[in-house]
Amino acid sequence: MSRVIALVDGNNFYVSCERVFKPALERRPVVVLSNNDGCVVSRSNEAKALGIRMGVPFFEVRPLVNSHGLVWLSSNYALYGDMSARMMTLLGEFAPRQEIYSIDECFLDFSGIPGSATARARDIRQRICQYLGITTCTGIGSTKTLAKLANHVAKTRNECKGVFDWAELPAAEQAALMDKLPVDKVWGVGRKFAAQLKRMDIHTVLDLRGTGVARIRKNFSVVMERTVAELNGESCLQLEDCMAAKAHIQATRSFGRPVTELGELREAVMSYVIRAAERLRRQPSLRTQVTVFIHTGKYRPGTPCHSPATLVPLAVPSDDTRRLGAAAVHGLEQIYRRGYRYKKAGVMLMGLQPVIAAQTGLFTADQPSRATRLMATMDAINKTYGMNTATFAGAGIEQPWRMQSTRRSPRYTTSWHELAIVAA
């Protein structure tokens, strides 16, 4: 029996969340910026119409604030996380199996559910819009790759009204549509592979679908081979019910101003390790390597550039913030050069190793090590009393290098002190 997979996502998710509690933002160009107000990460349709691209540094589009009434907001992850959790719970009621793929999208397995998949997707759209005020788009296909591509079609063609199912088109029309879609719209292809495919005279989705296995195998990895099979309706990717431990855990931030001193860089790197390590311990696994990098940025011609990175192996796999931090700071000291104006730093925890000994329980004989208990205690304190309540002095106290999120909206749904106001 052929599978029926749907990919549902929230349109312009962060902007949509903001608009729910501030209707005055409707019909205006709105962007939400990344952590620390660096880049554009979500755009209203009006902002897209102004030509603002995804991921563009905010300063490039800042003039539009005065010329076109562009509204910009810092990201409010407490709000987006809560709205996402609500949306995912509601979506989960529409299918027996769900894979939450990111904060605003999930796969649903409609296989074997009687009735029209398109009608089901319209119910989803109605339900999420009524309950949460967020508009969704749904793409439906017999594989995850086709569902993802269908979602792109649903989103870009007005006549679809937010829902598109490949099965509703006869084969000839499917091919005609795929011939109009550039190959970089395919999940996992991206710009780099698209350029390579172009050199092989593969331009459209239809071209890629019709490319022989041998030719793909010769030029690409097995991932691309699977992509081509999935485009042909042969399901290779399963729904993953729970997220597997991530191979890399990364924490990167731009600074609020250029940083030249090693001391400040040390604080920044340490604070990123704290964040990354906290996330690491939420998906229990250990790491064998820490990568640290610093960037001077490329936006000022004439200033000297220095963007080094280094990988520091750990003697013993660890999830201990202190060990990971020491490695990262050691790496930083190797790559730092005096006289450069650094704009950004980051750390990556790599070399995934499962935690071999299962977590010890309350009543088992062997107690967890002091380090494990210390980290668990810190995590528990920070979970209860808020981020960075218990932290490491190495991350600095005042953190003058940190960029401010100056325009975060209230945490409407997660803080009693920041509820939305309703006029009576």
Partner 1 sequence: MTPSPESGQRPYLPFGIPLTPANDNGRQWLPLGASKVSAGFPSPATDHIDQCLDLTGYLVLHPEATFFLRVKGNSMTGAGIHHGDLLIVDRSLEPASGRVVVAALNGELTVKRMQRSGNGITLKAENPAYPDVTVAADQDLQIWGVVAHVVHTP
Quote the least distance from Cβ 287 to partner 1, whole Å: 27
- Which of 60/93 has CB closer to partner 1? 93
**Quick one: which of 254, 220, 216, 222 has its CA closest to 237?**
222
Quote the least distance from Cβ 96 to partner 1, whole Å: 15
By CB under 8 A, residue 420 contacts partner 1: yes
Applying CB under 8 A, the site for partner 1 has a residue count of 25
Got the DSSP string for 145-207? HHHHHHHHHHHH-GGGTTEEEGGGS-HHHHHHHHHHSBGGGSTTTHHHHHHHHHHTT--BHHH
Q: Which two tokens stand for residue 164?
A: 């598109």
- Which of 20/200 has CB closer to partner 1? 20
By CB under 8 A, residue 133 contacts partner 1: yes
Quote the least distance from Cβ 131 to partner 1, whole Å: 4
At a CB cut-off of 8 Å and minimum separation 6, what does 415 contact?
78
Strands 136-141 and 105-109: unpaired
Count Cβ atoms within 10 A of the Cβ of residue 245 and give its class: 0-12 exposed, 13-18 middle, 19 or more buried.
Answer: middle
Quote the least distance from Cβ 90 to partner 1, whole Å: 5
Quote the least distance from Cβ 60 to partner 1, whole Å: 28
By CB under 8 A, residue 131 contacts partner 1: yes
Quote the least distance from Cβ 240 to partner 1, whole Å: 18
Q: What is the dihedral of CA 271, 275, 281, 282, to 10 degrees?
A: 170
By CB under 8 A, residue 424 contacts partner 1: yes
User: Per CB under 8 A, which region of 43-51, 129-137, 344-352, 356-364 contacts partner 1?
Assistant: 129-137
By CB under 8 A, residue 85 contacts partner 1: yes
By CB under 8 A, residue 90 contacts partner 1: yes
By CB under 8 A, residue 411 contacts partner 1: no
d(CA 359, CA 245): 16
**Quick one: which of 326, 310, 314, 380 has its CA closest to 353?**
314
CA 137 distance to own-chain centroid: 18
SS3 state at 418: helix
By CB under 8 A, residue 13 contacts partner 1: no
Name which position in 68, 82, 355, 374 contacts partner 1 (CB under 8 A). 82
- Which of 23/339 has CB closer to partner 1? 23
By CB under 8 A, residue 130 contacts partner 1: yes
The sign one gets for the Cα dihedral 245, 251, 252, 256 is positive
Angle at 333 between CA 329 and CA 338, to 5 degrees: 135
User: Per CB under 8 A, which region of 17-25, 188-196, 275-283, 295-303 contacts partner 1?
Assistant: 17-25
CA distance readout (Å), 199 to 146, 193, 196, 202: 24, 10, 5, 7
Name which position in 24, 214, 362, 393 contacts partner 1 (CB under 8 A). 24
- Which of 407/411 has CB closer to partner 1? 411
d(CA 6, CA 143): 9
By CB under 8 A, residue 236 contacts partner 1: no
Q: What are phi and psi of 310, to 5 degrees?
A: -145, 155
By CB under 8 A, residue 171 contacts partner 1: no
By CB under 8 A, residue 202 contacts partner 1: no
User: Per CB under 8 A, which region of 24-32, 69-77, 269-277, 281-289 contacts partner 1?
Assistant: 24-32
Quote the least distance from Cβ 130 to partner 1, whole Å: 6
| CA end-to-end distance (rounded Å), the chain | 56
By CB under 8 A, residue 386 contacts partner 1: no
Asked whether the beta carbons of 186 and 227 are under 8 A apart, the reply is yes
User: Per CB under 8 A, which region of 15-23, 152-160, 308-316, 354-362 contacts partner 1?
Assistant: 15-23
Residues at the interface with partner 1 (CB under 8 A)? 21-26, 82, 85-87, 89-90, 130-133, 412-414, 419-424
